[in-house]
Amino acid sequence: MKGKLFTKVLVANRGEIAIRVMRACRELGIATAAVYSDADRNAIHVRYADEAHHIGGAAPSDSYLQLDRIVKVAHDCGAEAIHPGYGFLSEKAAFPDACDAAGIKFIGPPGSAMRALGSKLAARKLAVENGVPVTPGSGAISDPEAALAAARQIGLPVMVKPSGGGGGIGMKVVESEDELAGAIESSAQAARSAFGDPTIYIERYVRKPRHIEIQVVCDSHGSAVHLGERECSIQRRHQKIMEETPSPAITPEIRSAMGEAAIKAAKAAGYVNAGTVEFMFSDGEFFFLEVNARLQVEHPITEAVTGIDLVKEQIRVAAGLPLSFAQDDVSWTGHAIEMRINAEDPARKFMPNPKRIARWVAPAGPGVRVDSGFGPGSDVPPNYDSLVAKLIVHGSDRAEAIARATRALREFVVVGPATTISYHRAILDSPDFRSGNLSTRFIDDHPELVEKAKQLAGEVSPFDYGPDPRHIAAAAAAVAAITQRT
């Protein structure tokens, strides 16, 4: 297989990322195989693939997390490689190990690199040994006394964090010593339940940092390149909802330093393929957080400003080919923003709102890209992540990208589930966002955005040719009035 591309790739995922990978494969002349659960029988990714295979029930544990079943399907259908997408099994070291045992290429890092980076404690240790700056913190904490001693040495406030897993699960901010014991117990319980590993540690809590990540790509021939940073500070419950590149806070000099640090961390772990090194940035300093050993949801904005197709590069690297570019070949043009359109109701604390999509019109025009696995008539199942689309815009500079994003959001029509479309419009209208005054507490610090989103949600897109919701509301009010009189 070394030196040539694959003839068939199985995509072990669903929704927009499955279609994204399949599109790259189609352009490379590679056949694709999809897998699907009971909930996804009629999903677009199933119809898009050259062939599709049922792998179980709607629950992820019965389908998309069935490692042995997925590898067997790949073997039986003649797929030479598997792309894991993101989420599900994408960062499980057992996945590339199982692929190796079956003689199938894994389009991602080796299991050894995942194991080296899968524990945040182990990753921190690796970073320190290779000169990558980390926030002051502890080792594994096993009892309240040790936690108290560590907190006093680090200095309050501190963050209690699980060593395994992610997504903000189990993370607790501790402002005073009397809160520490309860936070330790709560965090360990959450980590045990979610990740099967109760190991926790403590690190200094930075109140309003920026979350900056660096995209890296490494091949099996010793080359490693970074593709710049992504600003991922706008989050709710430690989950990103909007990303942009370049960051308004990062200078070329800082970008170069962060890129070099990211490459050091990746090389130290024996990393191969695409990955993301995450940093905390505050007052001109950056600190290593962790490595996401997979393709990120927000990878399209890096593609927009660099012109490099990351999925195609992933496939080439997995096939044993060298990177198609060197560091000196990478340049950044313009500004890009990605908005995650989730089936969630911002007015109800972002509660998921899975429903059938009655009407759907995706925006278009210059500099607009929509990645989605849904369309008119699609069911948004309650079993998985609430992401229904990614809206990516690219402009000549940040001002044009913001204007383009605002225009595209106004055009976007999704009728059925409540979505975050109007909330993104509210963010873009915020003076703090427009001035680049961002931090991971942006949403907490701007509660007024919810009310603004409610107002914007009442507007009708010029591309919505369905019944005008204002007329429906007026008719409903009239019927209610008549009913009351009678």
**Does a structural domain hold residue 190?**
yes
C-alpha span between 299 and 309 (Å, rounded):
9
On whether both 13 and 93 belong to a single domain, the answer is yes
Q: CB 29: neighbour CB atoms within 10 A?
A: 9
For residues 70 and 144, membership in a common domain is answered with no
* Domain shared by 46 and 89, yes or no: yes
Does the residue 174 lie in any domain?
Answer: yes
- pLDDT score, position 164: 81
CA distance 180 to 188: 12
The percent of residues above 70 in pLDDT, for the chain, comes to 95
Same domain, 91 and 164: no
| Tokens coding 22 | 């399949």
How many angstroms separate the CA atoms of 354 and 339, rounded? 19
How many domains does one find in the chain?
2
The CA angle 424-441-381, to the nearest 5 degrees, is 50
Q: Where are the alpha helices (DSSP H) in 269-354?
A: 299-306, 310-318
- Model confidence at 1, in pLDDT bands (50, 70, 90)? very low
pLDDT tens-digit map of 418-468:
999 999 999 999 999 999 999 999 999 999 999 999 999 988 899 998 765
Give 243's pLDDT tier (boundaries 50, 70, 90): very high
38 and 95 part of one domain: yes
User: How would residue 2 be classed by pLDDT, with cut points 50, 70 and 90?
Assistant: very low
Closest alpha carbon to 5 in 309, 217, 295, 315: 315
Nearest to 230 by CA among 54, 216, 3, 219: 216
63-88 pLDDT per residue, tens: 999 999 999 999 999 999 999 999 99
Give CA–CA dist 183/298, Å, rounded. 31
With a cut of 90, say whether residue 406 has pLDDT above it. Answer: yes
Residues 99 and 26 in one domain: yes
What does the pLDDT average to over 350-377? Answer: 97
Partnered with residue 390 across adjacent β-strands are 340, 371
Backbone angles phi, psi at 428, to 5 degrees: -65, -25
Tell the burial category of 38 from Cβ atoms under 10 Å away from its Cβ (0-12, 13-18, 19+). Answer: middle
H/E/C letters for each residue in 222-233?
Answer: CCEEEEEEEEEE
Measured between alpha carbons, how far is residue 164 from residues 15, 143, 154 in Å?
26, 18, 21
Closest C-alpha among 424, 402, 251, 420 to residue 337: 402
* Backbone phi, psi, residue 370, to 5°: -125, 120
287 part of a folded domain: no
pLDDT tens digits, 3-44 = 589 999 999 999 999 999 999 999 999 999 999 999 999 999
Domain final residue, candidates 160, 185, 204: 204
Across the range 149-162, mean pLDDT stands at: 93
Within-domain flag for 391: no
Task: Give CA–CA dist 439/209, Å, rounded.
Answer: 5
Tokens describing residue 312 = 């195609």
Domain of 167, CATH number, reads 3.30.1490.20
Q: Provide CB contacts within 8 A for 336, sequence distance 6+.
A: 244, 245, 300, 301, 302, 304, 305, 392, 393, 394, 395, 401
CA 186 to chain CA mean position, Å: 26
Residues 6+ apart with CB under 8 A from 368: 391, 392, 393, 404, 408
Q: Token pair 């993301």 is at which residue?
A: 276
Q: Per-residue pLDDT for 57 more than 50?
A: yes
Return left, alpha or beta for 113; rule: phi > 0 is left, psi -120 to 50 is alpha, else beta. alpha
Yes or no: say if 428 and 405 are a contact pair by the CB < 8 Å rule: yes
| Rounded (10°) angle between helices 111-118 and 94-102 | 170
Q: What is the mean pLDDT of residues 204-230?
A: 96
User: Which positions are catalytic?
Assistant: 294
Q: Which domain holds residue 151?
A: 136-204
Tokens 């930075």, residue? 206
Per-residue pLDDT, 471: 52
Asked if residue 44 and residue 86 are part of one domain, the reply reads yes
Contact assessment for residue 397 and residue 332, using Cβ atoms and an 8 Å cutoff: no
Q: At what angle do helices 252-268 and 120-129 cross, to 10 degrees?
A: 110
Q: Identify the band that residue 477 occupies on the pLDDT scale cut at 50, 70 and 90.
A: low
CATH number at residue 33: 3.40.50.20
- 3-class DSSP state for residue 81? strand
Which domain-ending residue is among 88, 107, 126?
Answer: 107
Give the chain's mean pLDDT: 94
Q: What is the DSSP letter of 210?
A: E
Q: Does 150 map to a domain?
A: yes
